[in-house]
Amino acid sequence: MQHRAADILVAGGGPAGATIARLLALRGRQVVLVDPGTRRTERLEIIAPAACRVAEAVGIAHLLYDASLSWPCSGIRRRWGTAEIELDDFLRRPGGKGYVIDRAPFDDALRAMAMDVAVERIAGRVVAARREGGAVVVGVQSGAQRISIAAALVIDATGRPSAVARRMGARRLPSERLVAERQPVDVLRAPDRETPWLDVDGAHNAWSYQVSGPNGRCEAWTVYRPGDRPGRPQSCADASSSLLSRAAGDGWIAIGDAAASFDPVTSQGLVNALSTALVAAGAILSSDGLDDNARGIYADAVAATFHHAEAGRARVYAGLAPPR
């Protein structure tokens, strides 16, 4: 076992982790980023107009103008079991612009930006975490090697596993368990690349979407409750909406999906990943640091955002036929 120390350890190098690691390193903090780097998120996702504002604030807006990573998106067209189409036109939202991003190269670009400002990267997985003295001691499995890192602060950006927070005593509180299953693309309905809309169809306790994006990609997903369909899905992702019982504690803070994860119908995940990274970095860099008060305010804000998104989700599903 190798032992070492770090000022700040960020666990997880997705959009939330790579962003906060870069923001803190830019302000002179010594940051170690731990991520296995073995599983990329191979998916097209929507950056809604609200997320574009946050992308500017965290200094990554230029990635949205890179055609190899990102493609303009006009909005969302929903068909909830009727012929009538409900349009969520991004032009009508503050900011007026949205994008479809190719997550794998987008995440690679975010991590490269973090490395450029001297974030140290360890290819490994957090497998233990405990409070010891004035530090949080994190066990990292890196290949055959086990590393023990004592950090003054640990940031949990491990996504839905909440790998640090759960070991520090927090619990994930699911609001609704959902699965997203990749579907063959219906080429007849492949969205027009000139006006790419995300097309959503709802029917029989499930909803599906189809979208096209950069690099000629076009994909379709169906989202449903695991008990609603027989058999094991082939290619699927956890799409549950759930909240961490508390988003911060003594020596640690959770950001992005590790703090709260959202049903994809809300298009809330990426804006939450970037905004929690920004807010947490601000608290950490403030003169009082991440004290008791800051942790309480942050955790309350995460919970309020989650409950607000849940209310919006209920309104969207109210239109789904037949009634759930």
Name the residues that contact ligand FAD, by CB under 6 A.
11-17, 34-36, 39, 41, 43, 45-46, 125-126, 157-159, 161, 163, 180, 221, 237, 239, 256-258, 264, 267, 269-270, 273
Compare residues 186 and 291 and give the one whose CB is closer to ligand FAD. Answer: 186
Compare residues 232 and 323 and give the one whose CB is closer to ligand FAD. Answer: 232
Length of the chain: 324
In the complex, least distance from residue 164 CB atom to ligand FAD, rounded to whole angstroms = 8
In the complex, least distance from residue 266 CB atom to ligand FAD, rounded to whole angstroms = 8
Q: Residue 317: which of 140, 169, 178 has the closest Cα?
A: 178
In the complex, least distance from residue 265 CB atom to ligand FAD, rounded to whole angstroms = 9
Q: Find out whether 256 and 159 touch, Cβ atoms under 8 Å.
A: yes
- Whether the CA torsion 89, 266, 21, 277 is positive or negative: it is positive
Q: Find out whether 241 and 178 touch, Cβ atoms under 8 Å.
A: yes
In the complex, least distance from residue 321 CB atom to ligand FAD, rounded to whole angstroms = 22
Compare residues 57 and 293 and give the one whose CB is closer to ligand FAD. Answer: 57
Q: Residue 253: which of 139, 104, 151 has the closest Cα?
A: 151
Q: Residue 109: which of 147, 61, 156 has the closest Cα?
A: 61
Complete DSSP assignment for 66-95: -TTTEEEE-EEEEE-SSS--EEEEGGGSTT
Within 245-301, strands assigned E span 248-249, 252-254, 260-261
Compare residues 28 and 86 and give the one whose CB is closer to ligand FAD. Answer: 86
Compare residues 46 and 55 and give the one whose CB is closer to ligand FAD. Answer: 46
Q: Find out whether 195 and 186 touch, Cβ atoms under 8 Å.
A: no
Compare residues 157 and 283 and give the one whose CB is closer to ligand FAD. Answer: 157
In the complex, least distance from residue 161 CB atom to ligand FAD, rounded to whole angstroms = 5
Compare residues 249 and 269 and give the one whose CB is closer to ligand FAD. Answer: 269
Complete DSSP assignment for 143-176: TTEEEEEEEEEEEE---TT-TTTTTTT--EEEEE
- Residue 32 to residue 11: CA distance in whole angstroms: 8
In the complex, least distance from residue 202 CB atom to ligand FAD, rounded to whole angstroms = 15
In the complex, least distance from residue 26 CB atom to ligand FAD, rounded to whole angstroms = 18
